[in-house]
Amino acid sequence: MEELLGNANIIELQKQVLSDPAMKQTVEQVLKNPEMLDQFKNFFKGGRKRRKSYRRRKRKKTKRKRKRKKRTRRKRR
């Protein structure tokens, strides 16, 4: 887990970010406020909730299509 984004070392990146006073203050504010922390986490999750709902709808749609095919096959015979 030490290496992220190719050759960037996380420990060095953390030191650089926390050495900047403005960034350090921003990080502290995010960690103190639970709502802001949730928004921050959701930003990096990449919209997992949206993808899940899309997949769920897609699965339901394919199930409906399969049922329709079965019904039409029975009627044709």
Q: What is the pLDDT of residues 32-70, one digit of tens each?
A: 988 888 888 877 776 666 667 777 777 777 777 777 777
**Spacing of C-alpha 72 from chain mean position:** 40
Question: How far apart (Å, rounded) are the C-alpha atoms in residues 75 and 1?
Answer: 58
Question: What pLDDT, on the 0 to 100 scale, is given for residue 2?
Answer: 46
Q: What is the pLDDT of residues 1-34, one digit of tens each?
A: 444 556 667 788 778 878 888 888 888 888 898 8
> CB–CB of 3/10 below 8 Å?
yes
| Overall pTM surpassing 0.85 (yes/no) | no
Query: What's the chain's Rg over C-alpha atoms?
Result: 24
